[in-house]
Amino acid sequence: MKLTVQEEEMLRGHRGKAAQRAMELLVALGEVFYAQNMIEVSSVQISGVSYKSIGDAGLDFLEDFAGLGGKVQVPSTVNPAGMDLDRWQEFGVSKEFADKQLRIARAFDQMSVQQTYTCVPYLIGNEPKLGEHVAWAESSAVVYANSVLGARTNRESGPSALAAAFAGRTPNYGMHLVENRMPNVLVETSATLKDPLHYGLLGYLVGKRHGKSVPYFRTRESLGREELQSLCAALASSGMISLFHMDGITPEAASFRELLNSVERLYVTQSDLEAMQSELSDVESDVDLYAFGCPHLGIAEVAHIAHRLKNNRLTKRLWIFTSRETHQRAEEKGYVKTISQAGGKVFRDTCVVVSPLEELGIRTIASNSCKAAHYLPSISGIKVRLGTMDELIEEAIR
| Footprint on this chain of ligand F3S (rule: CB under 6 A) | 79-80, 119, 140, 233, 294-296, 351, 353-354, 371
Alpha-carbon distances, residue 343 vs 297, 312, 314, 359, 392 (angstroms): 19, 9, 6, 22, 15
Main-chain phi, psi angles of 366, to 5 degrees? -110, 135
Closest CB 369 distance from ligand F3S, rounded Å: 6
- Nearest residue (CB) to ligand F3S, 25 versus 137: 137
Please classify residue 214 by burial: count the beta carbons closer than 10 Å to its beta carbon, then call 0-12 exposed, 13-18 middle and 19+ buried. Answer: buried
Closest CB 298 distance from ligand F3S, rounded Å: 12
Query: What's the full length of the chain, in residues?
Result: 398
Are 48 and 124 a contacting pair, CB within 8 Å? no
CA angle 311–298–217, rounded 5-degree value: 120
- Nearest residue (CB) to ligand F3S, 45 versus 73: 45
Closest CB 315 distance from ligand F3S, rounded Å: 25
Q: Which residues contact 206 (CB under 8 A, 6 or more apart)?
A: 185, 187, 213, 215, 235, 239, 241, 244, 266, 268
Longest dimension (CA), the chain: 66
Closest CB 273 distance from ligand F3S, rounded Å: 20
Closest CB 351 distance from ligand F3S, rounded Å: 3
- Nearest residue (CB) to ligand F3S, 295 versus 344: 295
- Nearest residue (CB) to ligand F3S, 30 versus 48: 48
- Nearest residue (CB) to ligand F3S, 185 versus 373: 373
Task: Output helix, strand, coil percentages for the chain, rounded to the nearest 5.
Answer: 50, 15, 35
Closest CB 140 distance from ligand F3S, rounded Å: 4
Closest Cα partner for 282 from 374, 166, 355?
A: 374
- Nearest residue (CB) to ligand F3S, 140 versus 147: 140
- Nearest residue (CB) to ligand F3S, 11 versus 123: 123
Are 153 and 142 a contacting pair, CB within 8 Å? yes
Closest CB 371 distance from ligand F3S, rounded Å: 5
- Nearest residue (CB) to ligand F3S, 116 versus 250: 116
Q: Which segments of the chain does DSSP mark as H helices, in order?
A: 5-12, 17-32, 51-67, 88-91, 95-110, 139-143, 158-167, 196-209, 225-238, 253-256, 270-280, 299-309, 324-332, 335-341, 370-380, 389-397
Strand partners, 321: 347
| Radius of gyration for the chain, computed over Cα atoms and rounded to the nearest angstrom | 21
- Nearest residue (CB) to ligand F3S, 193 versus 233: 233
Describe the strand order of the beta sheet including 289-297 as a list of residue ranges.
Answer: 345-348, 318-322, 289-297, 364-367, 383-386
Closest CB 296 distance from ligand F3S, rounded Å: 6
Closest CB 142 distance from ligand F3S, rounded Å: 11
